[in-house]
C-alpha cells in the first residue's frame, strides 16, 4: 500500500486519522460498535468506522426532514451550483479517491478512476438538469382553462449501495436527488466504509461552504438492520437500493408494506450473443473485459457467452488464449488486469460455483483456483475461469459474483440465441456481436432482448451515465442515472387552472344549482 501511495491518498481525502478517533467525519453519525475495514488487496486494516445506532438514526432523520424544508425552496439552479462545486472537488480528488476505491474494494486502479469519472459525469449531468426539471403542458378540454404538470422535491431519499461500486452508485442517486431538492441518507456497504466516509466528507465540506442546511447529505453505517431503519420508515418516501436479488425482495416488501417507492438495482445474468457475422477480435475484448473486469463483480459483468456453432471453436480458442494473457495481482499495480475478490466469502462462492458446474455436467475450459504465495496473502485472489455449460444448469441460472464465464452454444437462427439470452430470471444487460444489420435490429426489437440494457457490438458492462441504468424482471425494474431517471426523485403534480368567470365541469357534466 505504501509503495502505491495509499497513505497519501487517505491524507488527501482527510481520513488518515480515522483510527485514533481524531477524525470522525463530517455530518457522519455513529455511536455504535466499530466495524473494521480490511483491504482485500493485502489483508491490512485500513481503518475502523463506528456504526449507526437507532438513536443516531433518529438524529439523522430529524436533521434530514428539517433540512429538506429549507432546501426544497432553493431554486434548483442554485442547488445545481452546489453540485457543480462538489464536482470541482471530485475532479481534484479523482486520483486519491480512485486509489482508495481500488485499495478498499479491490478493483483495478484504472477502474477505480473510471468509477470516480462516473461521479464526475453524473454531477455534470445533474448541473445541467437543474435547469431542466421540465413538466409538460396540456390543452384543457374546457374553455378558459390551462393545464400543466410540475415536479416538486420529494423529501428524504434513502440510498443503499453495494461494495462493488462503492462511490459511483451513491452519486448517481444523490447528484440527481440533490438538484431535485431532496435530502439524502446513504447507507454504504459495510465492506467499504472508508470510501463512504471520504465521499461524505467531500459533500459535507462543500455544503457547509455554501450554507446548505444540515441533513441534506448524511451517512449511516452498518449491516442490514441499519438499512431497515430506513426501509421501514415512512418518513423516507423513496428507497433506492442496489444489491442482490435476495436483498431486493426484502427491501421491496418492507417499502411496499408502507406504500413507499422503491428503485431497485439488483442482480444480472448478462450475456453476449456471438453470431457468425461477429468481429471476433472485438468480441474477445468485450467478453474478456466484461467477464474479468472488477473481478467479475459488476452487476453488468458478462456471465454467459452464447456462441453460434459455426464460429464456436474459433471464439472458444480466441477467448481461452486471451485468458492466458490476464495478469492477476495487486490492483494498484497498473500492470495487472485483475485484482482480488472482495473477501473470503466471495472466494468460497466462486469455488462452489466451479464445483457445481462440473457436478451438473459442465466442462471446465480454463481452470480456476485460489492464488497463494507472495502478493496473494489476503487469500482473495482467484483465477478467472471459463466453463462450457448449458443454459438450463442451475448454476448458470444464478448470478455468481465472481469471474466465472459460461460458454453456451446455439445453432440455427438468432431466435434460438435470444431464447437462451432471455431464458434467465434476471434482466439487466445484454449484447450482440454482429455486423449483420438484420440480426442487430432483431436483437433490439420487441422480440429481442428483454433486458434494461441491450448493446450492439460492445460488451455488457461499462454503461455510460447518460442513459437510464437498470433492468427488468428480477433485476428489479428501477432506472437510475441519465435520461429521465430523475423523475423518481420528485413528486409529480397535475394542475388545472380556470381563468374564466364560470365553473364548467369536465366531461361535459351539467350540475346547476
Ligand atoms: C454495478 O455493477 O452495480 O455499467 C453498476 C457498468 C457501470 C456500472 C455498474 N457503469 O458496468
The single residue listed with the C-alpha cell 480454463 is 366
Pairing state between β 468-469 and 480-481: antiparallel
Round to whole Å and give the CA distance between 34 and 190: 11
Pairing state between β 156-160 and 238-242: parallel
Task: State the CB neighbour count (10 A cutoff) for residue 457.
Answer: 15
The confidence score (pLDDT) of residue 15 equals 85
Round to whole Å and give the CA distance between 304 and 288: 11
The confidence score (pLDDT) of residue 17 equals 72
Considering only CA atoms, which residue is closest to atom 3 of ligand 1?
A: 299
With a cut of 50, which residues of the chain have pLDDT below it? Answer: 20-25
Locate the ligand 1 atom nearest the alpha carbon of residue 265 and give its number. Answer: 3
Beta-carbon contacts of residue 459 (< 8 Å; ≥ 6 apart): 272, 285, 286, 287, 289, 290, 302, 431
Locate the ligand 1 atom nearest the alpha carbon of residue 242 and give its number. Answer: 3
Mean pLDDT of the chain: 96
Grid cell at residue 264: 431497485
The reply to whether ligand 1 has any atom less than 6 angstroms from the CB of 462 is yes
Strand, coil or helix: what is 495? strand
The confidence score (pLDDT) of residue 67 equals 96
pLDDT tens for each residue of 396-418: 999 999 999 999 999 999 999 99
Locate the ligand 1 atom nearest the alpha carbon of residue 268 and give its number. Answer: 2
The reply to whether ligand 1 has any atom less than 6 angstroms from the CB of 298 is yes
Rounded to the nearest angstrom, the distance between the alpha carbon of 183 and the centre of ligand 1 is 24
The confidence score (pLDDT) of residue 23 equals 39
Strand, coil or helix: what is 60? helix
Rounded to the nearest angstrom, the distance between the alpha carbon of 497 and the centre of ligand 1 is 44
The reply to whether ligand 1 has any atom less than 6 angstroms from the CB of 299 is yes
pLDDT tens for each residue of 415-434: 999 999 999 999 999 999 99
* Given the residues 104, 115, 190, 265, the one annotated as active site: 265
Q: Is 265 a catalytic residue?
A: yes
Which of the listed residues 101, 122, 165 should we mutate to test ligand 1's pocket, taking the one with most ligand atoms within 8 A of CB?
A: 165
The confidence score (pLDDT) of residue 27 equals 56
The confidence score (pLDDT) of residue 22 equals 36
The reply to whether ligand 1 has any atom less than 6 angstroms from the CB of 289 is no
The confidence score (pLDDT) of residue 18 equals 67
State the virtual CA torsion across 153, 159, 165, 171 in degrees, nearest 10.
Answer: 30
pLDDT tens for each residue of 439-479: 999 999 999 999 999 999 999 999 999 999 999 999 999 99
Beta-carbon contacts of residue 266 (< 8 Å; ≥ 6 apart): 242, 243, 244, 245, 247, 248, 299, 426, 471, 474, 475, 476
Kindly provide the b/e burial profile for residues 19-28, where b requires at least 16 CB atoms within 10 angstroms of the residue's own CB: eeeebebbbb
pLDDT tens for each residue of 74-121: 999 999 999 999 999 999 999 999 999 999 999 999 999 999 999 999
Rounded to the nearest angstrom, the distance between the alpha carbon of 429 and the centre of ligand 1 is 10
Amino acid at each position: 500500500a505504501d509503495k502505491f501511495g495509499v497513505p497519501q491518498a487517505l491524507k488527501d481525502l482527510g481520513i488518515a486519522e480515522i483510527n485514533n478517533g481524531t477524525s470522525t467525519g463530517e455530518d457522519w453519525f455513529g455511536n455504535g460498535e466499530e466495524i473494521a475495514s480490511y483491504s482485500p488487496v493485502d489483508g491490512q486494516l485500513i481503518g475502523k468506522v463506528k456504526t449507526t445506532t437507532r438513536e443516531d438514526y433518529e438524529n439523522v432523520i430529524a436533521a434530514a426532514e428539517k433540512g429538506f424544508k429549507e432546501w426544497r425552496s432553493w431554486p434548483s439552479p442554485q442547488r445545481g451550483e452546489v453540485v457543480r462545486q462538489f464536482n470541482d472537488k471530485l475532479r481534484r480528488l479523482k486520483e486519491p479517491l480512485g486509489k482508495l476505491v481500488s485499495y478498499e474494494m479491490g478493483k483495478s486502479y484504472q477502474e477505480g478512476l473510471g468509477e470516480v469519472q462516473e461521479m464526475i459525469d453524473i454531477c455534470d449531468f445533474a448541473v445541467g438538469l437543474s435547469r431542466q426539471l421540465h413538466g409538460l403542458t396540456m390543452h384543457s378540454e374546457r374553455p378558459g382553462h390551462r393545464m400543466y404538470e410540475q415536479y416538486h422535491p420529494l423529501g428524504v431519499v434513502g440510498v443503499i449501495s453495494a461494495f462493488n461500486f462503492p462511490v459511483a452508485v451513491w452519486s448517481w442517486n444523490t447528484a440527481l436527488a440533490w438538484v431535485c431538492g431532496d435530502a439524502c441518507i446513504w447507507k454504504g456497504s459495510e465492506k467499504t466504509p472508508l470510501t463512504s466516509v471520504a465521499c461524505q466528507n467531500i459533500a459535507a465540506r462543500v455544503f457547509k461552504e455554501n450554507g446548505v442546511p444540515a441533513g441534506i447529505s448524511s451517512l449511516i453505517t452498518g449491516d442490514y438492520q441499519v438499512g431497515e431503519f430506513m426501509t421501514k420508515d415512512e418518513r423516507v418516501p423513496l428507497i433506492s437500493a442496489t444489491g442482490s436479488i435476495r436483498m431486493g425482495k426484502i427491501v421491496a416488501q418492507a417499502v411496499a408494506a408502507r406504500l413507499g417507492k422503491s428503485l431497485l438495482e439488483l442482480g444480472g445474468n448478462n450475456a453476449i450473443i456471438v453470431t457468425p457475422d461477429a468481429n471476433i477480435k472485438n468480441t474477445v475484448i468485450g467478453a474478456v473485459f466484461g467477464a474479468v473486469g472488477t473481478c467479475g463483480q459488476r452487476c453488468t459483468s458478462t456471465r454467459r457467452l452464447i456462441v453460434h456453432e459455426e464460429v464456436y471453436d474459433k471464439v472458444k480458442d480466441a477467448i481461452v488464449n486471451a485468458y492466458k494473457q490476464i495478469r492477476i495481482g495487486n490492483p494498484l499495480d497498473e500492470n495487472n488486469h485483475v485484482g482480488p475478490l472482495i473477501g473470503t466469502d466471495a472466494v468460497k462462492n466462486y469455488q462452489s460455483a466451479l464445483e457445481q458446474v462440473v457436478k451438473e455436467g459442465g466442462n471446465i475450459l480454463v481452470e480456476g483456483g485460489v492464488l497463494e504465495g507472495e502478493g496473494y496473502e489476503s487469500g482473495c485472489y482467484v483465477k478467472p475461469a471459463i466453463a462450457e455449460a448449458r443454459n438450463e444448469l442451475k448454476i448458470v441460472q444464478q448470478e455468481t459474483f465472481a469471474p466465472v464465464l459460461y460458454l453456451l452454444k446455439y445453432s440455427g437462427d438468432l431466435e434460438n440465441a435470444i431464447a437462451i439470452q432471455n431464458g434467465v430470471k434476471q434482466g439487466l444487460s445484454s449484447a450482440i456481436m454482429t455486423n449483420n444489420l438484420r440480426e442487430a435490429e432483431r436483437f433490439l426489437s420487441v422480440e429481442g432482448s428483454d433486458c434494461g440494457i441491450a448493446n450492439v457490438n460492445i460488451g455488457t458492462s461499462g454503461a455510460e451515465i447518460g442513459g437510464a441504468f437498470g433492468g427488468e424482471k428480477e433485476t428489479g425494474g428501477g432506472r437510475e442515472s441519465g435520461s429521465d431517471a430523475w423523475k423518481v426523485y420528485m413528486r409529480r403534480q397535475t394542475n388545472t387552472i380556470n381563468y374564466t368567470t364560470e365553473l364548467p365541469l369536465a366531461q361535459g357534466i351539467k350540475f346547476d344549482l
